[in-house]
Amino acid sequence: MAGDDILVEQLGRILRVTFNRPAARNAMTFAMYERLYEICAEIDANRELRCVVFTGAGGEAFVAGTDISEFRDFGSEAQALEYERKMERVFGRLEDVKIPILAAISGACTGGGAGIAAACDLRIAGPSARFGFPVARTLGNCLSIGNYARFVSLIGAGQVKQMLYTAELFDARRMYELGFLNEISESDDVVATRALEIAERIAGNAPLTISVTKEALRRIARGQTAGGDDLILKCYTSRDFREGMSAFLEKRLADWRGE
């Protein structure tokens, strides 16, 4: 069981999820991946929530990949395929969460940690953040096609090639310039606070607009560019749309309910 390896705390309309194995630089066990999958379902079931912030305990890492000790018993084709399918299942579920997820990143964000960050909606990092998949100099394994595709869409094929071929870690400035990061904080000490500030701003905006935008972009990323009438109608026929018009005309703040 993951136990206290992932901490979950609700702060009003925001959920803070902390990867909590600082002695292991928050490396993920298989049980932690399963717990993360469960947390996604809990987020979608909680109508009070408007935003999620992921962070790593200890300051040295967001998540430094999968705990290598989990691979000791690997010896079959089935285990290899099952592991990468598990990764795709978890990362895909993260992308499917209905509300925005922010990653607050300090230190190592590598392997599975980079995969988690890539599946989030927004990424805020401190100066110490380092990103990559150094498997060409560690285990000699690879990523799933889905994970390669996710990174190609975010930073481009040429950068993915350099990252994987050289096994080098890209720093925060480079990842910001590539468009992977939305913001670099002035210091690591304020990354989590800044992420919560952004989450609070998101939480105060119209939740249907945000959820529809997230779903539209998710569909586009998966090649679904046709249709979308259901998303338009979800907003325009909502109670919130009528409330937004009234609030604007009456020069007051809208009372958003996600209805």
Over residues 231-258, the pLDDT tens digits come to 999 999 999 999 999 999 999 999 999 9
Angle of CA points 24, 198, 14, to nearest 5°: 70
Q: Do 89 and 34 meet the contact criterion of CB atoms below 8 Å apart?
A: no
Instruction: Give the ranges where 46-76 is alpha helix by DSSP (H).
Output: none
pLDDT tens digits along 141-165: 999 999 999 999 999 999 999 999 9
Q: What is the pLDDT of residue 45?
A: 97
Task: Give, for 194, the enclosing helix (H) or strand (E).
Answer: helix 191-203
In a 13 Å sphere around the CA of 256, the CA atoms on its Cβ side amount to 19
pLDDT at 223 over 90: no
pLDDT at 226 over 90: no
pTM equals: 0.94
Report the alpha-carbon distance of residue 182 to residue 199 in Å, rounded.
Answer: 13
Question: CB neighbours (10 Å) of residue 220?
Answer: 11
pLDDT tens digits along 31-40: 999 999 999 9
**C-alpha 68, offset from chain centre:** 22
Q: Name which of 62, 194, 72, 59 is nearest 124 in CA terms.
A: 194
Angle of CA points 124, 127, 131, to nearest 5°: 70
Report the alpha-carbon distance of residue 165 to residue 8 in Å, rounded.
Answer: 36
3-state secondary structure of 181: coil
- Can you list the domains of the chain with their CATH numbers? 3-203 (3.90.226.10), 207-249 (no CATH)
Q: Which of 36-40, 66-70, 74-78, 180-184 has the lowest average pLDDT?
A: 74-78
Match 């399963």 to its residue by tokens.
34
Q: What is the pLDDT of residue 242?
A: 96
Task: Give, for 104, the enclosing helix (H) or strand (E).
Answer: strand 101-105
144: left (phi over 0), alpha (psi -120 to 50) or beta: beta
Q: Band of the pLDDT at 72, cuts 50, 70, 90?
A: confident
